[in-house]
Chain A
Amino acid sequence: MSATAVTARPAARAPSPFRLAMGRFAARRAALLGLGLVALVVGAAVFARLIAPIGPTAADWSAIRLAPSAAHWFGTDEVGRDEFARVVFGARASLLAGVVSVLIASAIGVPAGILAGVAGGWTDAVLSRIVDAMLAIPFLILAIALAAFLGPNLRNAMIAIGITTAPVLMRVARAATLDVMTQDYIEAARALGNPPWRLALRHVVPNILPPLLVQSTLAIASAIIAEASLSFLGLGEQPPTPSWGAMLNAAQQFLTQSPWLATFPGLAIFITVLGFNLVGDGLRDALDPRRAGR
């Protein structure tokens, strides 16, 4: 939007903070590159059938572990399935796991964090100790333990990653809530006789969204790595449905003869995670200009 377009409007309203933030986001090349990478992966997941009509599970015993060629761009795997199709379809499991587990984490962590921040006192102390205890267990070890006790499949992997990510979002929500609670408008709203739940819903929630948005985007990146790790260990999506982690696990056996099998799924994870990390960094700089570039 150019400056003249703004002044030409009769009402001459100042652009909203959201618009300003989006402008700052769009001005960052790295953030736009990240958005492009995310769009590429989302596009692959949505249009997988159009991009790779051959399908991810069609085995061809006459084409086992072929090197990349014009017919099979990424080569074929140990049962002759098209590696390109498997990488494209694998985007579904990764994105689904990234988004769903962060939704689960937000559903648990955000209300708990707001509750701790608004209520304070004992409620805060108890919730914070639970979070401390959960954060004490290494992320992946807790996720592995949960996935192991629940049983190995993609749904349980997402639950496990969601539960392990919840404490992180709880801490961010709590810190942001505490920050908001010291603001004058909260004091004013309280003085007007608003009950605590109304304070939380009407005044706290909208104001803690920016940091939560940043943290959630970065959490999607870690959740995608976590899902790939779990499925690499055999605790995620079960065969024959393709997932990048499981493909890398299978590729290990043929590392010397068929290195391409280990190359493309790994690149796919890298590109996806890099995309979300770049978008997360860009959002943070855009939403909190004081910290930009730090």
Chain B
Amino acid sequence: MQGQGRIGARLAQAVPTILLLSVIVFGLQQLMPGDPALIIAGEAAGDPHVVAQIRAHLHLDAPIALQYLRWLWGVLHGNLGYSWRLDEPVTALVAQKLPVTLQLSAMAFLFAVVIGVPAGVISAVKRDTVWDFIANGVGLFGLSIPTFWLGIVLILVVSVDLGWLPPSGYVPLMQDPLRSLATTIMPAFVLGNAIAATFMRHTRSAMLSAMEQDYVRTARAKGLSEPRVVLRHALRNALIPVVTLGGLQLGTLLSGAVLTEQVFGVPGFGKLVVDSVFNRDYPVIQGVVLVTGALYIALNLLTDLLYVLINPRLRAA
């Protein structure tokens, strides 16, 4: 009951959040200095006929609320507008680039979990020892090093000096899985590094409080072996808040992807945004912002669902 109520409440919250997100995305356009019709017209901006045509075509003279509703209606029908630069529907561009970034993000997430969670556990179990000190130091290092610089340094060492991996480029997973892994493993590691530190810190903190709970003392008193106490009893409970954290990290991943893709020349979502920014291709920027925001809200709804499923207290109540 409680779990269902929680999901219902979250769903009810998500709707206004998505609507507000659309208002923010639409509002971005209003920040633009100058007349959008003139910018779209480009070299033909001197011709008032062309400018008037563009203005009429895009309904730029209509009241702002009406413009928003017209735009929202289009978005709800899968129409995110047309790229000014590539003359392609924004939806098609997004659909084309998104899988690349998702592959990168999924691999990065895997790196982060594989590094961050065990490091957090060791750090908590061996609290105040040299292991704890090392894990904390590595975590702080991960939080403080700029993603793009780590990428540059890795290219320098791994690709230029050692020649182990290609410095840039991308091969689709379906085309050649092995080469695809070779081109994405370095960017994925760089991208995963920042959130590995966050995972490590949260796992450590959750483990420290779990280890103080009565059920851990009971498990020890029953004579269970220490690894069993740590893994079966403490970690299972400590992972619950960490799962929620996982959903919240999507934003960090997508932010980091923009820089990582730029450094490693991966043709994904992030590169699409940056290229659009420099070509003043505003509909694409708006489309990308809207899609990432909606993705984030959807993923966090899913995480909440997962939270209810793995947390026995919410499930049984």
Contact = CB atoms under 8 A, between A and B. Distances in A.
Interface of A: 129-130, 132-142, 144-151, 221, 225, 228-229, 232-235, 248, 251-252, 255-256, 259, 262-263, 266, 269-270, 273-274, 277-278, 281, 293-294
27 contacts: A132-B17, A133-B293, A136-B296, A140-B258, A141-B254, A141-B288, A144-B273, A144-B274, A145-B28, A145-B286, A146-B31, A148-B276, A148-B277, A149-B29, A149-B31, A150-B33, A221-B143, A229-B146, A248-B148, A255-B155, A262-B149, A269-B146, A270-B144, A270-B145, A273-B144, A277-B144, A294-B209
Interface of B: 13, 16-18, 20-21, 23-24, 28-29, 31-33, 127-128, 140-141, 143-149, 152-153, 155-156, 160, 204-205, 208-209, 250-256, 258-259, 262-263, 273-274, 276-278, 280, 282, 285-286, 288-289, 292-294, 296-297
B273 A259 contact: no
Contacts of A139: 251-252, 255
User: What 5 A-B pairs have minimum CB-CB distances, sorted nearest first?
Assistant: A140-B255, A266-B149, A133-B20, A274-B144, A138-B251
Contacts of B208: 294
Given A141-B258, A266-B146, A251 B20 contact: no
B263 A142 contact: no
A262 B156 contact: yes
B21 to A, nearest CB: 4
Contact of A150 (B31, B141, B278, B280): B31
B152 A255 contact: yes
Given A141-B292, A144-B258, A278 B140 contact: yes
A259 B156 contact: yes
B125 to A, nearest CB: 14
Contacts of A266: 146, 149, 152-153
Contacts of A259: 156
Contact of B289 (A141, A232, A251): A141
Given A141-B288, A141-B292, A145-B289, A129 B16 contact: yes
A132 B274 CA distance: 25
Given A132-B17, A133-B23, 18 more contacts: A132-B13, A133-B293, A136-B21, A136-B296, A137-B292, A137-B296, A141-B288, A142-B289, A145-B285, A147-B277, A148-B282, A221-B144, A252-B152, A255-B155, A262-B152, A266-B149, A270-B145, A293-B127
Nearest to A276: B144
B259 to A, nearest CB: 6
Contacts of A273: 143-146
A36 to B, nearest CB: 15
Nearest to B155: A255
Contacts, number: 147
Contacts of A140: 255-256, 258-259
A112 to B, nearest CB: 14
Given A146-B31, A274-B140, A133 B24 contact: yes
A148 B146 CA distance: 21
B20 A137 contact: no
Contacts of A145: 28, 273, 285-286, 288-289
Nearest to A259: B156
A116 B83 CA distance: 39
* From B13, B17, B29, B254, residue with most partner A Cβ within 10 Å: B17
Given A255-B152, A256-B160, A137 B274 contact: no
Contacts of B29: 149
A235 B277 contact: yes
Contacts of A137: 21, 24, 251, 289, 292-293, 296
Nearest to B258: A140
Contacts of B31: 146, 149-150
Contacts of B143: 221, 273, 277
A70 B133 CA distance: 37
A145 B272 CA distance: 12
A248 B128 CA distance: 37
Contacts of A142: 289
Nearest to B30: A149
* From A146, A225, A248, residue with most partner B Cβ within 10 Å: A225
B48 to A, nearest CB: 25
Given A133-B24, A233-B262, A278-B140, A138 B152 contact: no
* From A129, A139, A228, A269, residue with most partner B Cβ within 10 Å: A129
B222 to A, nearest CB: 27
A259 to B, nearest CB: 6
Contacts of A251: 152
Nearest to B136: A30
Contacts of B258: 140-141, 144, 229, 233
Nearest to A229: B259
Contacts of A133: 17-18, 20-21, 23-24, 293
